[in-house]
């Protein structure tokens, strides 16, 4: 019978002492510590919110980016570079390179003109408008481009890329930069 426990009543005076709760000063110090942690987090979040560009899209490097509404061209894009009389605009945006003092408006569109007609027309327009063509891709390839410079200290650059499309149309992508 040694294995049966005695569960008889033990008067409180004979019970082992119970653990006592921590003194009130220790509770206050934990509360103060949590208050400080929360305060630091709030200050950091507030600083982040104040220093970030609110509502501005950026490229992968953090440069501000503005996007034109669907089917439209960004305001900064030089209209003389759109030589197609009726392009179907598929995208347009401007990147603002703060560190270099440059803007780069870009437009992409579909042209009903053939691949070859687009290359010939852009080449002639660039030369007529005082651009110096410094690089040209091979027009025999599926994708080709023309890169040109103009202005004092070559302050303007343009890169026009042409791509064959399955439906016989041509995809044209134009990026322009101007250093001020």
* Tens digits of residue pLDDT in 11-66: 767 767 777 766 655 555 566 677 777 777 777 776 555 555 445 677 777 788 88
Residues 83 and 110 in one domain: yes
Whether residue 107 sits in one domain with residue 27: no
Rounded-to-integer distance, Cα 124 and Cα 119, Å = 9
For residue 139, what is the domain's CATH number?
3.30.310
Is residue 5 one of the residues assigned to a domain? no
Distance (Å, rounded) from C-alpha 105 to C-alpha 94? 4
Q: Which pLDDT tens digit goes with each residue over 71-118?
A: 999 999 999 999 998 899 999 999 888 888 888 999 999 999 999 999
Predicted local confidence at residue 163, as pLDDT: 94
Quote the number of domains for the chain: 2
DSSP secondary structure, 81-128, as one string: G---SS-EEEEEEEEEETTTTEEEEEEEEEESS-HHHHHHHHHHHHHH
The residue among 156, 87, 83, 68 whose CA lies nearest residue 120 is: 83
Domain that holds residue 44: 22-51
Residue 8 lies in a domain: no
The residue among 32, 51, 70 that closes a domain is: 51
In a domain, 69, yes or no: yes
pTM confidence score: 0.67
């Amino acid at each position: 019978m040694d294995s049966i426990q005695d569960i008889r009543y033990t008067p409180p005076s004979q019970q082992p002492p119970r653990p006592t709760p921590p003194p009130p000063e220790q509770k206050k110090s934990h509360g103060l510590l949590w208050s400080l942690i929360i305060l630091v987090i709030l200050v950091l979040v507030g600083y982040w919110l104040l220093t970030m560009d609110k509502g501005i899209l950026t490229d992968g490097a953090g440069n501000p980016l503005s996007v034109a509404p669907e089917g439209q061209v960004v305001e900064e894009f030089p209209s003389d570079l759109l030589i197609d009389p009726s392009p179907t605009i598929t995208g347009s945006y401007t990147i603002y390179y703060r560190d270099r003092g440059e803007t780069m408006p870009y437009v992409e569109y579909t042209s009903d003109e053939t691949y070859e007609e687009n290359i010939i027309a852009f080449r002639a327009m660039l030369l007529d408008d005082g651009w110096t063509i410094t690089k040209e891709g091979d027009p025999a390839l599926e994708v080709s481009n023309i890169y040109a410079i103009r202005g004092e200290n070559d302050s303007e650059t343009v890169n026009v890329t042409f791509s064959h499309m399955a439906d016989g149309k041509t995809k044209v992508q134009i990026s322009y930069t101007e250093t001020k």
